[in-house]
């Protein structure tokens, strides 16, 4: 029933996002374009079917007896998203695996609605409460079990109250690992995605709280303030860490005063300028779309311009092989949300990014069906993480999984 209600709301109300396993055809397109897009999506789905099947079979062999993957609820949530609705040899086994995994993931629900292993560390942020809660919320929205709506609402409230709200701090509007510490774009983009795909829960007719929609709209406005602090766009971001290098312009960094890609170190005592990265720029782009910035916004145009100058699937721009699977997965989500099938690079070359990603991930898949990064930073050498990233990326690239609609403008 919830899936049907979401679908009805998407057509009749102000759609912000839905996680659906179907082909999206934009109402703004003409019938011929619709037919062309549908045929292309079906073709992509056929291409990725055997790749996804092999990946799912690998994942199913690695599930622990308690239902977990990677001994963590976040990794388990990613695994569920990866194998959900994938055609495998034993469908009953897949569905039973998902049911056990959901029970494992949701066994970590806390009294405040958060979903994370609170007992693992005394320091709250070390347990990744926002990251894990966000992935769990996205997973619940995708699997859509009848009894999970109350858990989804509680998880939403927890994430909303995790937003930093001191306007005098550089973290204002952002979300980090926990409610203390600092905000960053990676955790913030996961939280934004979770709040975006469940946004309908705070709007009529699914919410009787007439002030809920206003609160969530204010939250999105504050998100854009934090995004500006993470973008190398000196006409808007006047912080001392902003890069003035043309190669960084429009790109995003991990958080204010820190880039995982490093900096242009000054040797004369002047300020150091933080280097943009591809993964954070795609994370920034999709979060701007979630926050309903349109294509003509200078921040969106700046991000697209950076990505046009740095189009590649061979590495994570600015970081080489580090975080490559996270980069590809975020790239697919962002470009799909932006609503383009072709990205023209700075040299005028047209890239059919869906085809490119499918071909690249097909070439990177191991014989056992898994994926793993040769660079172990960010845990990507662990197949239980890299494989779900790759599979989710393939689902988005083939039109089988959607996290947003295209922006205005």
Q: Which domains are delineated in the chain? A: 2-397 (1.50.10.20)
Q: Which phi and psi (to 5°) does residue 396 adopt?
A: -65, -45
Three-class DSSP category at 205? coil
Residue 23 has pLDDT above 80, yes or no: no
Residue 15 has pLDDT above 90, yes or no: no
Q: Give the range among 108-112, 127-131, 158-162, 267-271 with minimum mean pLDDT.
A: 267-271
What's the rounded mean pLDDT across residues 370-389? 97
For the chain, the straight-line distance linking the first and the last C-alpha, in angstroms and rounded, comes to 34
Residue 29 has pLDDT above 80, yes or no: no
| 336 CB burial (10 A radius; 0-12, 13-18, 19+) | buried
Q: Label residue 402 by pLDDT band (50, 70, 90).
A: confident
In this prediction, residue 41 carries a pLDDT of: 62
The alpha-helical segments, DSSP class H, found in 144-246 are 149-160, 185-197, 212-229
What's the rounded mean pLDDT across residues 68-88? 97
Q: Which two tokens stand for residue 30?
A: 């003409």
Q: Label residue 327 by pLDDT band (50, 70, 90).
A: very high
Spatial contact of 351 and 342, defined as CB atoms under 8 Å apart: yes
In this prediction, residue 6 carries a pLDDT of: 42
Three-class DSSP category at 334? helix
Q: Is the four-CA dihedral 225, 230, 233, 237 of positive or negative sign? A: positive
Dist CA 64 CA 101 (whole Å): 9
Share the mean pLDDT of the chain: 89
Q: Label residue 403 by pLDDT band (50, 70, 90).
A: confident
What's the rounded mean pLDDT across residues 316-336? 98
Residue 356 has pLDDT above 60, yes or no: yes
Residue 197 has pLDDT above 70, yes or no: yes
What are the tens digits of pLDDT across the range 283-303? 999 999 999 999 999 999 999
What are the tens digits of pLDDT across the range 118-154? 876 555 556 899 999 999 999 999 999 989 999 999 9
Q: Give the range among 6-20, 26-40, 304-318 with minimum mean pLDDT.
A: 6-20
What DSSP string describes 335-395? HHHHT-SEEE-TTS-EEEHHHHHHHHHHHH--TTS----SS-GGGTTSHHHHHHHHHHHHH
What's the rounded mean pLDDT across residues 53-66? 98
What's the rounded mean pLDDT across residues 384-409? 88
In this prediction, residue 218 carries a pLDDT of: 97
Q: Label residue 24 by pLDDT band (50, 70, 90).
A: very low
Comparing 18 with 379, the larger pLDDT belongs to: 379
In this prediction, residue 127 carries a pLDDT of: 82
Spatial contact of 60 and 69, defined as CB atoms under 8 Å apart: no
Residue 71 has pLDDT above 70, yes or no: yes
What's the rounded mean pLDDT across residues 22-30? 35
In this prediction, residue 25 carries a pLDDT of: 28
Residue 177 has pLDDT above 80, yes or no: yes
Comparing 2 with 388, the larger pLDDT belongs to: 388
What's the rounded mean pLDDT across residues 206-218? 91
Spatial contact of 278 and 331, defined as CB atoms under 8 Å apart: yes
Closest CA to 81 of 146, 125, 141, 27: 141
């Amino acid at each position: 029933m919830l899936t049907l209600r979401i679908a009805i709301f998407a057509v009749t109300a102000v759609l912000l996002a839905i996680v659906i396993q179907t082909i999206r055809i934009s109402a703004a397109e003409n019938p011929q374009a619709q037919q062309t897009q549908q045929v292309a999506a079906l073709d992509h789905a056929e291409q990725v079917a055997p790749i996804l099947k092999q990946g799912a079979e690998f994942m199913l062999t690695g599930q622990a007896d308690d239902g977990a993957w990677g001994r963590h609820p976040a990794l388990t949530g990613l695994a569920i998203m990866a194998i959900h609705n994938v055609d495998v040899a034993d469908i009953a086994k897949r569905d039973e695996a998902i049911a056990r995994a959901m029970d494992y993931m949701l066994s970590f629900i806390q009294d405040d609605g958060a979903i994370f292993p609170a007992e693992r560390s005394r320091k709250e942020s070390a347990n990744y409460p926002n990251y894990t809660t966000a992935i769990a919320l996205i997973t619940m929205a995708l699997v859509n079990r009848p009894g999970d709506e109350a858990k989804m609402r509680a998880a939403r409230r927890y994430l909303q109250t995790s937003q930093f709200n001191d306007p005098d701090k550089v973290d204002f509007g952002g979300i980090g690992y926990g409610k203390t510490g600092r905000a960053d774009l990676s955790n913030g983009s996961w939280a934004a995605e979770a709040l975006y795909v469940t946004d309908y829960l705070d709007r009529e007719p699914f919410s009787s709280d007439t002030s809920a929609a206003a609160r969530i709209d204010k939250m999105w406005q504050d998100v854009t303030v934090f995004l500006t602090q993470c973008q190398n766009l000196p006409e808007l971001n006047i912080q001392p860490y902003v890069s003035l290098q043309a190669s960084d312009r429009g790109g995003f960094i991990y958080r204010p005063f820190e880039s995982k890609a490093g900096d242009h170190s000054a040797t004369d005592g002047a300020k150091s300028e933080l280097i943009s990265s591809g993964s954070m720029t795609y994370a920034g782009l999709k979060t701007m779309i979630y926050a309903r910035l349109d294509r003509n916004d200078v921040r969106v145009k700046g991000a697209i311009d950076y990505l046009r100058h740095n189009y590649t699937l061979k590495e994570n721009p600015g970081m080489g092989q580090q975080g490559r699977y996270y980069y590809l997965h975020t790239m697919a989500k962002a470009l799909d949300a932006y609503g383009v099938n072709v990205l023209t690079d700075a040299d005028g070359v047209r890239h059919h990014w869906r085809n490119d990603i499918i071909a690249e991930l097909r070439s990177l898949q191991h014989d056992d069906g898994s994926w793993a990064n040769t660079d172990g930073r960010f845990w990507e050498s662990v197949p239980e993480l890299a494989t779900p990233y790759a599979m989710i990326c393939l689902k988005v690239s083939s039109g089988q999984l959607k996290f947003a609609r295209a922006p205005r403008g």
